[in-house]
Each structure stands twice: as structure tokens, then as C-alpha cells.
Amino acid sequence: MAETKKLLSLVADHPVMSQELKEKIHELEEEIFKIPQAAADPSTTLYFWGGPVVGSIGIDAVFAGQIIKPFQNMVAADFSQRHREAVARKGRRRGEKDSRLLLTALPRGSFGLKLSRAESNELFEDSELSDTLVHVTQLIDSAKSEKRLEDNLSHFSIRVVSGLKEFLNVLSRSKAGLRMETGNLRFELSPEEALQAFDDDPPLAQQGMGDIGAHHVVGAFGTG
């Protein structure tokens, strides 16, 4: 493209060649426009420190399994809600297989678990899962602030909220800290912040939950 435009500048006064080059540039621009944009990487990395981690050597296997399960549940529920249909409180979620994450790497730092979507030929599904991972990351990050958490909960289904409660429960009882990276989003949640977020009974009785009544939210985070 650049070479063609450069050549056009050299023959701008030639009536035939300049017209042919202009048409060529137009064709190239149309071809470039048809090329699909690369989807955002549908993956996230969770780094841990504290109780279940032994330096950069390893992480407790039971903890790893326990922390991945509620995270996957949050992702599946949010993916279904945003990109398939409103998620029911129980039962199989539509599009669940499209939001399944694989443990694809164990990055060293503290000690990390990289979760990624299996390779797919569906460009839009990659983009949709990336979108869900961003929303779930922002929700977990907001747990550090009661006000932000209240504001965010109104955008999530009860199944996502229940997954968040269990995720924070695993962190707090294991005395684990979290650093999370999803795309250009990065944040840390200390063991103390995780414990406080899990133990607190936020004043959520007036908070909406989309199609789900506010009293269900209180049930997810406390006895209300």
C-alpha cells in the first residue's frame, strides 16, 4: 500500500497511470477492510501469594482446584447472561461449552494460573469470552470497595454473585492474596481485603440484580 501511494505521487500528472494506481489503492483498501480484526486474547492470569503458595516453587493443588471452580462458574454464568440469554438460577447454562477455560500455563511470579479459551475458529466467540473475562475481573476488583461492589452487582446475575462469594471464601480461608491480569486490566487483592469482602454483609437489600430480586443478593452475601 505504501509503495503504491509513493508511486502514485511520482506519476500524479500522468492521466492513465495515475488513474490505474488510484484504482489499485482503492482495491487494496477494500481488501484490508475485509480482513477481520484480531480478537482480544480470551485469557486471564491469576497470581497468588500467602498461605497456599510456596515461593515460586508451587501452589497447593487443593487450593488451585477450589479457586478455579468458582471463577469458571462466574465466567460461564456471565457469558450466558451477556451473550446467550438471561441465566437461570439453576440448571445448565446456554453456551456453557463456549466459555469453558483451560489451564494453559503456570506463570512464575508469586505463582500463577493462566486460564485460556481453547482454540476456536469462531472470531465472535473469542471476543465475547474476552468481554466476559473483563467484566468478571472488574467485579472481583470491586470487592475491595463496598460502594464499588454495590454498584457493580446490579449488572450481574445471582449465579455470578454466588460464584464471587465462593471465590472470596476460598481466598479468605486460605489466607491467600491475589494479583489478576486480564488484557490491560491489573489489580491486587490482599488476604485482608479478601477476608473483609467475604465477611462483610453489604447493605444490598435495595440493590437490583437485573431480572433477579434484590433479596436474592442478600442471600448470596449473607443471611440478610
Q: Which amino acid is at 171?
A: L
Q: What is the pLDDT of residues 44-64, one digit of tens each?
A: 999 999 999 987 788 999 999
Backbone angles phi, psi at 38, to 5 degrees: -60, 130
pLDDT at residue 92 greater than cutoff 80: no
Quick check: 221 and 201 in contact, CB under 8 A? yes
Residue 45's DSSP bridge partners are 114, 181
Residue 145 CB contacts under 8 Å (≥ 6 apart), including other chains: none
On whether the CB atoms of residues 32 and 11 are closer than 8 A, the answer is: no
Amino acid, res. 31: E
Q: Which of 102, 93, 95 is nearest to 158 (CA)?
A: 93
Residue 104 pLDDT: 87
The cell numbers describing 128, all together, are 465475547
Could you tell me which of 76, 93, 188, 171 has the C-alpha nearest to residue 133? Answer: 76
Nearest CA among 122, 151, 125, 128 for reference residue 138: 151
Place of cell 502514485: 8
Maximum average pLDDT range among 20-34, 81-95, 170-184? 170-184
Cell triple for 115:
486460564
Residue carrying the nine cell digits 463496598? 146
Tell me the one-letter amino acid at 33. Answer: F
pLDDT, tens digit, 9 for 90 and up, residues 100-159: 889 888 887 678 999 998 766 555 567 788 889 999 999 999 998 888 888 888 888 888
pLDDT, mean of residues 182-210: 70
